[in-house]
Amino acid sequence: MSGKNQGNTFRLEVLKARGNGALTTIDSISADATIAELKKRVAQQKPELYSDRQSYRTEPTGKSVKDTQKLSELNIDKVGKIYFKDLGTQIGWSTVFFAEYAGPLFIYLLFYIRPSLVYGSSAGSKPVHLAAHLGAICWTVHYAKRILETIFVHRFSHSTMPVFNLFKNCSYYWSFTALVSFFVNHPKYTPPSFGNAQIYLGLGIFILNEIGNLSIHILLRDLRPAGSTERRIPYPNKINPFTNLFHLVSCPNYTYEIGSWLGFSLMTQTLTALLFTFAGAVQMTIWAKQKHRAYKKDFADKYPKQRKSIIPFLI
């Protein structure tokens, strides 16, 4: 269905980037067609290779080309060949996020609501400490918030990711959930050393950081026009003071996330919660540094110099 301007069509061999031989041949495609259109054509001929799974390069090894580029821009019409890579089974980002967040919700609450299932029948009748109640509430709020954000707030720049990521991410979230929940909801739970003062301080820190994190997500959503993948520099807005953290870091959403979990750990005084906080902080620092580097590269001198990636003044 690439009805073309006649003089402009050519025969394209789609070769496999790794390994030998051709994947398929497209008898007639327009030089003005984009990679996105090529993907559609290939998917027609090879239905199991839906567009999101296809990746193209001009050389067997090298960077993949963007969907928006035309075949003529890449000289493909002269060469008559292009190299294909199968990205493997893809899964939508939304699917991944739901699976990743529904698990923690379910698992944490399992320990909380039905302790006898995990700790034995006598656990059901033991009194539950305030910190454990608040822990369950905070955990639920956090993941419910994430699910809602996935539905209503986030805009994703890729529509899919490899299915292996689902397995990897779920293992991480679900395992840590079990590790945290097991100890916070344990019949032998020991309340925080500084009593209610510590509990409420932790709770307060948690709440403020959750609001902060949400504020940043909303700001980022508004930054990116609907349906586009355009990138702009985020700045604090005048309305929400939580966005002021953008003065100091490139990824304040991650900063707030670490803050939330520190609050949670303080509130529950549970080692595994702190380990979870630390693991998350390490991963988010890696991501923040990547993003920070990308910002500086894309925007060069226009990008605010005093910003660090995730921890103000430090990293």
> β-strands 54-57, 81-86: how paired?
antiparallel
Q: Which is nearer to other proteins, 185 or 243 (CB)?
A: 185
- Provide the strand spans (E) within 144-202: 160-162
| Selected binder of other proteins within 30, 160, 243, 270 (CB under 8 A) | 270
Q: How far is the CB of 177 from other proteins (least distance, A)?
A: 15
Q: What residues from 200 to 259 belong to the interface with other proteins (CB under 8 A)?
A: none
Q: How far is the CB of 241 from other proteins (least distance, A)?
A: 34
Q: How far is the CB of 64 from other proteins (least distance, A)?
A: 18
| Selected binder of other proteins within 101, 108, 174, 183 (CB under 8 A) | 183
For residue 204, give Cα distances in angstroms to 130, 152, 172, 275: 15, 26, 27, 20
181 binds other proteins (CB under 8 A): no
Please tell me whether residue 20 adopts helix, strand or coil conformation.
Answer: coil
Rounded to whole angstroms, the Cα distance separating 278 from 23 reads 45
268 binds other proteins (CB under 8 A): yes
DSSP assignment of 61-126 equals: SSPPPPTT-BTTTTTHHHH-EEEEEE--SEEEHHHHHHHHHHHHHHHHHHHHH-HHHHH-GGGGGS
Q: Is the dihedral of CA 26, 32, 33, 34 positive or negative?
A: positive
Q: How far is the CB of 182 from other proteins (least distance, A)?
A: 9
Q: Which is nearer to other proteins, 44 or 190 (CB)?
A: 190
Q: Which is nearer to other proteins, 220 or 267 (CB)?
A: 267
Residues 10/80, Cβ–Cβ less than 8 Å: yes
193 binds other proteins (CB under 8 A): yes
Phi/psi of residue 68, each to 5°?
A: -80, -10
184 binds other proteins (CB under 8 A): yes
Rounded to whole angstroms, the Cα distance separating 102 from 108 reads 10
Q: Which is nearer to other proteins, 31 or 273 (CB)?
A: 273
Q: How far is the CB of 179 from other proteins (least distance, A)?
A: 10
| Selected binder of other proteins within 272, 277, 285, 309 (CB under 8 A) | 272
Q: Which is nearer to other proteins, 35 or 184 (CB)?
A: 184
Q: Which is nearer to other proteins, 167 or 235 (CB)?
A: 167
Single out the residue of 231, 243, 225 nearest to residue 295, CA to CA: 231
- The first and second tokens of residue 220, run together, are 């980022």
177 binds other proteins (CB under 8 A): no
Which residues are near other proteins by CB under 8 A?
183-184, 186, 188-190, 193, 268-272
